[in-house]
Amino acid sequence: MRRSSQNGGLPAPPPDLPTRLIGARHDACGTETRARTKIIEAYAAPHREYPLVKVNPMANWSKKQMWKYIYDNEVPIHPLWELGYKSIGCKPCTAMVGAGQDERAGRWNGSKTECGIHTAQKPLNYSI
């Protein structure tokens, strides 16, 4: 395995580095976990030689900035949003949001603060 001093001693990334594009924003749910979200995060990936990289391009955006970008760039709205699913995660962690509820009220029925897809990996000391 190649090592690189330019990335804190982590293995040099392969051309097919496992990466997830995530829509996390600091202001999305008011938790300390979300407030610490970095734009690029690396996690130890079980059963993989290389880390899993999560890219959070909207981490520093407000809800208002996100919607401005959507409208200015004519980004299509997902049909589930129109049905009342204001925050999408894995199937067991996602429910419709009622009128007047916070956009993340449909997640986990109040039993936890993050979906398992975000907590199953061990964070590496490598983020931007």
Selecting among 29, 90, 93, 115, the annotated active-site residue is 115
Backbone angles phi, psi at 39, to 5 degrees: -65, -40
Is 115 marked active-site?
yes
**DSSP letters along the chain, please?**
--B-GGGTTPBPPPTT--EEE----TTSS--HHHHT--SEEEEE-TT-SS-EEEE-TTTT--HHHHHHHHHHTTPPPPHHHHHT--S--SGGGB-PPPTTS-TTTTBGGGS-SS-HHHHSSEEEEEE-
- By residue count, the chain amounts to 128
User: Which residues does the annotation mark as catalytic?
Assistant: 115
